[in-house]
Structure 1
Amino acid sequence: MAVTQQEIENRLWDAADELRVAMPEAQYSSVVFPLMFWKYLSDTWEHTHQTFLKENEDLDLSPEEADEVEYSNYQTFKIPFIFPGTVAERRASWSSILATVAQHGLGQRVRASLQAIESANPDKFSRLFGSMTWTSETVLPGEVLASVMRAMDRTPKMHEGNMSHDVLGGAYEYLLKRFSDGSGTRAGQFFTPREVVELIIELLDPKNHESVYDPTCGSGGMLIAAANFLKAHGGRGYTLSLNGQEAVTDTAGVARMNLFMHNLTEFKVEVGDTLRDPRFKKPDGSVKQFDVIVANPPYSMKWKPWTNDPRAIGGVAPQSSADWAFVQHMIASMDSKKGRAGVVLPHGVLFRGGQEAAIRKRVLDDDLLEAVIGLPANLFYSTTIPTCVLVFRTPGTKAPGRQDGVLFIDASTRFTKAKNRHVLTDADITDIVTAYHSGSDGNGGDGLSARFVPTTEIVANGYDLNIGRYIKQAAAEQEDLGTLIDAYNIARAEREKTEQRMLAVLSAAGIEGFDE
């Protein structure tokens, strides 16, 4: 009997819910995903092992010969033994450890099993399971871990003979979303709402055999969406080279497990700070280039600015906000012949002055920016402010009708209210993508407006990219509260800085009392 999506999702959530007595929901993912993937690997290994035994039962093989035949012709990864040569020796599989859940030291055995699997499969599973701090008795009591494992064991067997990778990957994504819905702003660290991901991927239109790169990949959703998009449009998603970098070790592990669950094996996920230590490089030390670059980086993140970095075209982003630094990195990562990039950022990147304005000027002068798409407020788990998608193309690769200008699309009123946030519907995404591809000016109906603006007009406006400046209807219909707040905060900071300088000059001149 086929396993339904609903069934596996319900059982997995029941297992996650056992953690409620030990930790906040925001931390569930660090426990549930490693356990879920371990069970998936174990169920797959054991299913294949039974097939091997059945098909070779008539052969008189020694243990060594059997092992060689099984791993040469059947298994694609190893599940070794833990504590070999001791009375505690046992296979590092889910079922083997599950049989010991009532015994003391469960967390230690789980940790040893996951580490053994990583060590036995360094090319596939190195650092896959993250830090595993939850295996400590002081973090997660053994009896709670046992309850989680018992509940998860009620989930149907997770192997291809029992459920498809579509079901398995869907269940993983269900948990990602469920954890995000319940964990507030922390969710933004690893999960971008699916509809926003799908929008960016559709705009960039990946093709067979192309390379896709996400410099802040979180749980890997954008990489998976690229493969799913290609498959849905008659292409071969498995031909994509998928690459991501993530600063948080545990989140990078979540991404790797997510990709495996979706049956995507041609990927590379590295750990590190992309701005300070980009891990994808050419032999000469410059950043590696890709066909498609996608990202939802942390917004307005404080960072240590570059001192001498070739990525810093137009200048260096200010310490107070790394937004444009991420854009510069993505531009440097675009393939010279067909590279294109899509990134979600706050509206402040469109109009903020100082160093950001200088970078914006260079990007526009080089005709790298193809489109600015205004999205509704409250789409994300990490912020309620309205955001925008910026689309870039490598120099000289814009279509003739898109050269020397920027396409502006206002979709700020296109959303449906959901429980905790707004969402874009399939119709919203389709209309935005249609407006992007057509590039025609005018009102697209139902609150969607578009206009292609020549670079000369943008230059005349001081390289300001504020959408309301170019699509007047949007400005008239809806004041962009998030943008206004952003602009107010910047102006207030500048005023306070000016006041401090004035007070210092007055104080030096012996004039006091102005700051009372």
Structure 2
Amino acid sequence: MALHLTGSGQMTQRQLESALWSAANALRGPVDPGDYKAYVFPVMFFKWISDNWDYQHAQAVKEFGENLTEEIEADYHPFVIPDACHWHDVHETSINVGAKLATCLQRIQQANPELAGVFGDVNWANKDRLPESALVALLDTFHSVRLDPDSVSGDMLGAAYEYLLREFAEASGKKAGEFFTPRHVVHLLVRILDPQPGESIADPACGSGGMLVETVNAVRNAGGDPRTLRLHGQEVNLTTAAIAKMNLYLHGLDDFKIVRGDTFREPKLLDGAALRKFDVVIANPPFSLQNWGAEAWTKDPYSRVICGVPPAKNGDYAWIQHMVATMAGQTGRVGVVMSHGVLFRGGKEAAIRECLISKDLLEAVIGLPGNLFYSTAIPVCLLIFRNAKSQDRKGKVLFIDASARYQASRNQNTMSEHDVEVIDAAYKKGVDTDGAAGLSVRLVDVTEVQANGYDLSVGRYIKTESGAEANVEAAIAAYREARHQLTAMDMTLETKLKAAGFDA
């Protein structure tokens, strides 16, 4: 693929994105589109490390010439590339290319402990899974793309990475919910939480790291120094955790902590034996997670059972309580994306909801439009919690119906930058300052919520046509969710009966 650069020698954003998407398309056929990310991102990151090593080497030679020593040059390189493990060593390999690539990626991780796990767990040598011809085509496409600072700025590379995430999400459909949150939703939630320089940020279900990257963008755009942020994330999926690390590195960040593991069964963002506390806790966790580990929460050693153990078949309020438990004292705030079911479901969840409201931790419920996500068409909401509410919001909950603030598109609806600004302003001021259609705002006293049985359905407090539609969709979603759980229970029962010798 021939690339035509600008006069400055840099690719344009469009050229870069086109080149990267061409690399992904080299896998078309033998690799399922939903798995592109597992192959493309590690190769892209390897190329980035190699190209930057060459760039840094040229700088060292230019500055020291014949006086350059290994010790001096080492200071120029943030990452070590072992002998025979540079990009060109792999690209020039003619047979068993996958085995050579696997060896080099492993040796790079060993030489740079901070990169442990960053390349994922693909078996590059498995020619049945990834034919050598497809791997060679992938390498050839990347070979023509220079990813050093002379060719691609850090902002361009970060934006291109997000472009690939978005394209892979579209290609993988419902599987995208495992790793990708639409940019406009992330942008809105981060604006609402308003991260400040020097604060600590955590995402306990960090996926590809989009929430953390957006906090950096928000601080930078406000004129602050994003390097002062302390970024933390935990992700259960190995490939996705690796993508998150690469995402942060490619956005020019190197001071962060991404850990892999089950947040419920083995939280790893700790301060000694206790949960670490953060100024901002933000997440779009998997909705209605089954078998999330309720049995261990009856005696949770991390004090996350603030208001009760959630149902074993639905981990929504486990996410919420985990996040609330990790809020720092006076500064702590939580922003979480949830399905509308958390607003009105009964049983154990109703008791937890009542408790959280009674403790005056819930600040706002924001109903968003439907069909914003790749993984579900149902409408979602944002729940905002604070340890210390402002005086005018104590004993109250702010309800915002933004279900009509969207632009329809072919696959998913989107929210424009103006939509995001209007919703954020409504949250911060407690009123609709825009005056345009599609937004309703009301600050409700907790006594009214109590009179409604602690039901938080937006339509109970804001009587609008869009609110009614959202409630109907939410009710349908809850019905489907219950049917799905019933089907799963039936299958489990049938399996146990057969194992016991009964013919079900």
Query: If the length of structure 2 is used for normalisation, what is the TM-score?
Result: 0.91
- Corresponding residue number in structure 2 for 1:409: 400
Which amino acid is the alignment partner of residue 301 of structure 1? Answer: L
Partners of 1:204 and 1:187 lie apart in 2 by 25
Which amino acid is the alignment partner of residue 221 of structure 2? Answer: A
- Corresponding residue number in structure 1 for 2:499: none
Deviation, 1:201, is 0.2
Deviation, 1:474, is 4.4
Which amino acid is the alignment partner of residue 298 of structure 1? Answer: P
Deviation, 1:281, is 1.1
Give CA deviations for 1:220-276 in whole Å, capped at 9, x if unaligned. 000000000111111111211110000001100000000000001111000001111
Tell me whether 1:210 sits opposite 2:218 in the alignment. no
- Corresponding residue number in structure 2 for 1:144: 134
CA shift in 2, pair 1:479/1:27, >3 Å: closer
CA shift in 2, pair 1:339/1:7, >3 Å: same
Tell me whether 1:386 sits opposite 2:386 in the alignment. no
Partners of 2:138 and 2:486 lie apart in 1 by 55
CA shift in 2, pair 1:5/1:135, >3 Å: farther
Alignment of 1:338-377 (within 5 A): 338-377=331-370
Which amino acid is the alignment partner of residue 287 of structure 2? Answer: Y
Give CA deviations for 1:158-203 in whole Å, capped at 9, x if unaligned. 1123221001111111100001011100011000000000000000
Instruction: Say whether the 8 Å CA contact 1:168–1:262 is kept in structure 2.
Output: yes
Instruction: Say whether the 8 Å CA contact 2:369–2:406 is kept in structure 1.
Output: yes
Structure 2: unaligned runs, 5 residues or longer: 1-8, 488-504
SS at match of 1:138: coil
Which amino acid is the alignment partner of residue 70 of structure 1? Answer: E
Tell me whether 1:163 sits opposite 2:173 in the alignment. no
Instruction: Say whether the 8 Å CA contact 2:458–2:467 is kept in structure 1.
Output: no
CA shift in 2, pair 1:366/1:46, >3 Å: same
Alignment of 1:82-481 (within 5 A): 91-100=84-93, 103-122=94-113, 124-155=114-145, 157-283=146-272, 285-302=273-290, 303-305=292-294, 306-309=297-300, 310-394=303-387, 397-440=388-431, 444-474=435-465, 478=469, 480-481=471-472
Which amino acid is the alignment partner of residue 264 of structure 1? Answer: L
Partners of 1:368 and 1:476 lie apart in 2 by 24
State which structure, 1 or 2, has the greater radius of gyration over its C-alpha atoms: 1
Which amino acid is the alignment partner of residue 397 of structure 2? Answer: V
Partners of 1:430 and 1:365 lie apart in 2 by 30
Which amino acid is the alignment partner of residue 459 of structure 1? Answer: Q
Which amino acid is the alignment partner of residue 49 of structure 2? Answer: L
Tell me whether 1:55 sits opposite 2:46 in the alignment. no
CA shift in 2, pair 1:405/1:135, >3 Å: farther
- Number of residue pairs matched by the alignment: 474
CA shift in 2, pair 1:95/1:489, >3 Å: closer
SS at match of 1:336: coil
Give CA deviations for 1:372-408 in whole Å, capped at 9, x if unaligned. 00001100011000000000001xx101111101000
Which amino acid is the alignment partner of residue 32 of structure 1? Answer: V
SS at match of 1:415: coil
Deviation, 1:52, is 2.0
- Corresponding residue number in structure 1 for 2:49: 41
- Corresponding residue number in structure 2 for 1:505: none
CA shift in 2, pair 1:491/1:198, >3 Å: closer
CA shift in 2, pair 1:40/1:495, >3 Å: closer
Partners of 2:124 and 2:357 lie apart in 1 by 48
Structure 1: unaligned runs, 5 residues or longer: 82-90, 497-516
Deviation, 1:415, is 0.7
- Corresponding residue number in structure 1 for 2:82: 80
Which amino acid is the alignment partner of residue 91 of structure 2? Answer: L
Instruction: Say whether the 8 Å CA contact 2:99–2:124 is kept in structure 1.
Output: no
Give CA deviations for 1:395-428 in whole Å, capped at 9, x if unaligned. xx10111110100000011111122110011111
CA shift in 2, pair 1:79/1:476, >3 Å: closer
CA shift in 2, pair 1:219/1:494, >3 Å: closer
Give CA deviations for 1:48-91 in whole Å, capped at 9, x if unaligned. 112223333333x7xxxx222211x321220002xxxxxxxxx2
Instruction: Say whether the 8 Å CA contact 1:134–1:140 is kept in structure 2.
Output: yes
Instruction: Say whether the 8 Å CA contact 2:199–2:279 is kept in structure 1.
Output: yes
Partners of 2:386 and 2:178 lie apart in 1 by 27
Instruction: Say whether the 8 Å CA contact 1:218–1:255 is kept in structure 2.
Output: yes
Partners of 1:354 and 1:295 lie apart in 2 by 24
Partners of 2:370 and 2:16 lie apart in 1 by 33
Which amino acid is the alignment partner of residue 174 of structure 1? Answer: Y
Give CA deviations for 1:115-164 in whole Å, capped at 9, x if unaligned. 11100010x21111111224422211111100110011121x21123221
Give CA deviations for 1:23-69 in whole Å, capped at 9, x if unaligned. 1110000000000000000000011112223333333x7xxxx2222
Identity of aligned residues (%): 44
Give CA deviations for 1:457-511 in whole Å, capped at 9, x if unaligned. 1011111101000001246763533212144457879999xxxxxxxxxxxxxxx
Which amino acid is the alignment partner of residue 134 of structure 2? Answer: V
Partners of 1:243 and 1:490 lie apart in 2 by 31
Partners of 2:433 and 2:468 lie apart in 1 by 15
Instruction: Say whether the 8 Å CA contact 1:311–1:329 is kept in structure 2.
Output: yes
CA shift in 2, pair 1:77/1:441, >3 Å: closer
Give CA deviations for 1:84-126 in whole Å, capped at 9, x if unaligned. xxxxxxx2111221111xx21100110111111100010x211
Which amino acid is the alignment partner of residue 241 of structure 1? Answer: R
Instruction: Say whether the 8 Å CA contact 1:442–1:451 is kept in structure 2.
Output: no
